[in-house]
Chain A
């Protein structure tokens, strides 16, 4: 007997004690001509309602691929998910049918992309594109959808929304376009919002506006927010907890205050130390030596070992598990105690 999509959909409002979203031991790989690229190698994190999780990492660390897997927008093939689970209010999204996932995508879990200009369709008005959320998901009429679009544009503080609803994306500035993206993503009151580098292409003044807007929307609707970024400043400003990714793995998991005060992984520590500081002006910046790993040819053992000042012989041979430091913190380093205490080598 064929199950209908609604049977398996998680109930609105959540199921008691389950976290809103949990990613469990997720693996994603891509079959390329050059070989198998293991982009995500066993990533786990959880997100509760109203919480902000920052996923920090460089390009190629797997932070965006994880997010795309949650959204279900990976091209498969070439992508494959050989292992893992993504539980949204207890239901494993990876086991759902495509129709069921479509019900969740955009409506319950929404995403904001980095480059708003290329994420918006240049030949439709922004009002049409925002309204599409209502027309497609809720079968609203064109006229009602447009009314809703104006309301949303007001909510994300686009001035003169009523006039501008008929404008095209190119008629807006970068910051305003990102607001339109945000309007589309919050249109159906999602429970989880994934923001993939939402402010990277923007000026700092506009970045401040957008981050404030996101924080406000989150307070209003108690969304869980996954913020994907490489900017240590933005993270320090808004995150509740942080997952640091390197070479497709989470190398450190911690509440925001702990990680900035006392990092427990050499990579996190190196990143924090390489931020230019006023009292160190005129001196060399601390630089993590070497290059990020090549995903086609990952180092053996700990992926960070070629660049690590704490490296010992076993780092080259054995992959460190995510050691628990306390119930809220973990670090994937054999020598996390030494890193935590700040004793080098």
Chain B
């Protein structure tokens, strides 16, 4: 699990804006959705970066840009020192091979008309150099075994498997091209509680076995804590706090992180009457028109004038051990308090 020093993925000031248009014949751009708006981080070999945030904060857009499914508006994604935006043709193809994805919903992300063998083997059709044609069936069976499925089930269809098994198929497909980075977008949230633990254990085992780097996007904060080495908290397209898992969970410095953590119900009824909870009012503002200065100020109980005029940068603040983007950052243990 110990991350080595070399970063395989470097993301710098990544921005992805989607245009908002009006009119059918004469399309005019009337604004833009600032889905990802200046995100920077490093990812090391064998490391897991957890990304948490409310829906609409840009987590999934970030994943798509990293997969090169969307072109970034500006900023760079460097994989092993190569800029993804500048890569073309064969270079881009090789970079894409290196970043794979496990989708959220194993019920819709597998083609019901393809056999499991075809689903897992499909990446080889595109990246033919990984497995020569005659070798593919054997490779797919190996993968099935690696994710804990019966290799003899290679000719079955997705509907013959349960949700947890289907997610294993999705994971096997992600592993097929031997990537160094796997992006897991809510990999367990569609699964039953008793199955989630099995899939998380599998992901951890695979990480150790193949020294994979994960970007683990989820809204279940306790799962993210369990699997992540570092955690980034996203709000309206930006990281508001980024640090080691223990730093984020035990000493959250940004008010949003504190609110998010204190909103998570604790699975223990002892002392529930005394528990202090920060309940945020309202919903996140629209990413088409984010508030000036600090984006969280409209829901923040610490907001002052400076928050409306000056945007707080993501940096290490006095009295805290990790980066946070708040003028009034102050480490506070919200989970164990009360």
Chain A residues in the interface with B (C-beta under 8 A):
58-59, 159, 173-176, 203-209, 211-212, 230-237, 239, 256-257, 260-261, 267, 270-272, 274-276, 278, 281-282, 284-289, 291-292, 307
In angstroms, how far is the closest chain A Cβ from the Cβ of B13?
A: 27
11 contacts between A and B (CB under 8 A): A173-B283, A204-B263, A204-B264, A205-B279, A208-B280, A233-B264, A235-B267, A274-B193, A276-B223, A285-B201, A292-B162
A204 touches B221 (CB 8 A): yes
A291 touches B282 (CB 8 A): no
CA distance A257 to B269 in the complex (A): 6
A275 touches B267 (CB 8 A): yes
Closest to A257 in B: B269
Contacts of B54 in A (CB 8 A): 203-206
Closest to A259 in B: B269
A212-B194 contact given A232-B267, A237-B272, CB 8 Å threshold = no
Question: Binding site of A, secondary structure by majority: helix, strand, loop or mixed?
Answer: helix
B36-57 interface code vs A (CB 8 A; 1 in, 0 out) = 0000000000000000001100
B197 touches A234 (CB 8 A): no
A292-B192 contact given A205-B259, A212-B279, CB 8 Å threshold = yes
Chain B residues in the interface with A (C-beta under 8 A):
1, 54-55, 162, 164-165, 192-198, 200-201, 204-205, 219, 221-223, 225-226, 245, 249, 259-260, 263-270, 272, 277, 279-283
B260 touches A205 (CB 8 A): yes
CA distance A270 to B195 in the complex (A): 11
B265 touches A209 (CB 8 A): no
Contacts of B222 in A (CB 8 A): 233, 275-276
Point out the residue from B200, B260, B265 that lies within 8 Å of A237, measured CB to CB. Answer: B265
A232 touches B193 (CB 8 A): yes
Contacts of A270 in B (CB 8 A): 194
A174-B193 contact given A209-B279, A233-B266, A237-B266, CB 8 Å threshold = no
CA distance A270 to B267 in the complex (A): 14
B270 touches A59 (CB 8 A): no
CA distance A121 to B269 in the complex (A): 37
CA distance A174 to B221 in the complex (A): 20
Contacts of B197 in A (CB 8 A): 274, 285-288
